[in-house]
Structure 1
Amino acid sequence: MDLVGIISSTGPWGWIIAGLLLLVAELIVPGVFLMWIGIAALVLGILSLVLWPFGFWGWQLQLLLFAVFTAASIIIGRRVLSNHDTASDQPFLNQRAAGLVGRTAVLIEPIDGGRGRIKLDDTIWVVEGPDLAAGTHVRIVSGDGRNLTVAPVE
């Protein structure tokens, strides 16, 4: 049976069944994409319950509206999901170097040629900054990945 035959034989319930199957598939397949297509099919199924008896409600219009509803549900869904910016109690959780900015430490190796080392808590960090002697107190002014930039404490 072809697509036109399936749409005409199942009536509006075909869209509702397809929408429900897509929502169930969303539970099985990770992603949050099939959900938007399933919602579009459900909306079209509900609309088909009302418009099925009318002559203009052919398979071409249904497929066109399905494409439009799918695009609209994806756009609306992405906007809804992207507005959930919650403030974290640990904003630097995965940015350890950035979370160290402002702390002070003592150089365990001198900064020579722009690079030296400090020990901060239980970690030895490579630091960049002006040439300074070992034992100098420094403040961390920035952090990017593994390296920290320091300046002498005044």
Structure 2
Amino acid sequence: MEFLNVIFNNPWIWLILGVIVMGLELIVPGVYLFWVGAGLITTGVSVVAFADLPGIPLAAQIVIFMVAMFGWVLTGIYLQNRVRQAAPSALNAGLAQYAGRQVPIVQVFADSRQESQTSYLGRIKLEDTTYGVISRHPLQEGQFVVILAYQDGKFLVEPASN
């Protein structure tokens, strides 16, 4: 046991292990190895910080490592959740993900009556495809519109306020 105390009183062991474990993050999928490596490096830094003391016993170093690792893993979980909440996913959103985008009208059709309200039909160019649109406002070719929603196979649009 004395052999382990001699080895682990050297902060380089903790620092090198931390770098190796963080490097494994590049090879092994997952995110938690990075935070475990951060815990190892924190332990190495704490051994350096208390180097002028007679030496931190191995049991205390392991406790420091466990607390640091637990703290870093919780920090990682918090940061990942914060990033996920800040950036909503467009995965499986379909055409509804285009709401709010400004696009040009490429073709206008004659007025149509739909549920006793006048609707204006046309087509927009979105990326490399054209789609049918419906609007409560008159449409003109070349005019930019804002996509409000996608329902019943058509985009609901209104004139862009430029």
- 1:124 partnered with 2:121: no
Task: Write the distance in 2 (CA, Å) between the matches of 1:51 and 1:109.
Answer: 86
Indicate the residue corresponding to 2:155 in structure 1. Answer: 148
Q: CA deviation at 1:99?
A: 6.5
Q: Which amino acid aligns with 1:39?
A: A
1:111 and 1:129 in contact (8 A); partners too: no
Task: Write the distance in 1 (CA, Å) between the matches of 2:54 and 2:158.
Answer: 78
Q: Which amino acid aligns with 1:140?
A: V
Task: Write the distance in 1 (CA, Å) between the matches of 2:65 and 2:44.
Answer: 10
CA RMSD of aligned residues (A): 4.6
Q: CA deviation at 1:67?
A: 3.0
Q: In the TM superposition, what whole-angstrom CA distance separates every residue of 1:43-86 from its partner, at most 9, and x where no partner exists?
A: 212323527844x6341x3333223322444528949xx6xxxx
1:69-148 superposed matches below 5 A: 69-74=68-73, 75=75, 78=79, 97-98=98-99, 100-101=101-102, 103-108=104-109, 113=114, 116-120=121-125, 122-130=128-136, 136-137=139-140, 140-144=145-149, 147-148=154-155
Give me the TM-score of the superposition, normalised by structure 1. Answer: 0.53
Give me the TM-score of the superposition, normalised by structure 2. Answer: 0.51
1:117 and 1:124 in contact (8 A); partners too: no
User: What residue ranges of structure 2 are gaps of 5+ in the alignment?
Assistant: 84-95
Name the % identity: 20
